[in-house]
Amino acid sequence: MIRTAVPADVPVIHAMVRELAEYEKALHEANATEEQLHEALFGERPAAYAHIAESDDGEAVGFALWFLNFSTWRGVHGIYLEDLYVRPERRGGGHGKALLAELARICVERGYERLEWSVLNWNAPSIAFYESLGARPQDEWTVYRLTDGALAELGGGR
């Protein structure tokens, strides 16, 4: 059901990224191209990794895209799950759980001590799913982001 993504998967990953962005009411922010995803996943210096969830007939029905982070407190890497998505008509079939289980397996195998991700506060179905697996919200932390003009200004570009 779960396999490591290969370069030929980039178009379907790109399509599902856009589906996820639409679900999250932010399609206008999803500007990544297939070429950018290919470079990030399979370029000379990969910055991210992906796994594909397949149906019994081999159709890609979901994906997990992740990268390594590092905990100075624990002294080891962890996995940050950037995107987890299963197509709506395929939800409830165990694909999402299988994707998370594969990432947890990688953590255990490699000695990583954290598997982390973010979820929108309004996404009650996903929150309930994550909590059913034993995940707990880190509600003492607030995510901050610099982007666009603020990022350029701070970085000296404008």
Residues with catalytic roles: 130
94 contacts: CB under 8 Å, gap ≥ 6: 1
- Return the structure tokens found at 101: 């289980």
Q: Which residues contact 15 (CB under 8 A, 6 or more apart)?
A: none
Say how far apart CA 28 and CA 120 lie, in whole Å: 17
Give the largest Cα separation in the chain, rounded: 52
Q: CA geometry: angle at 25 spanning 92 and 1, to 5°?
A: 30
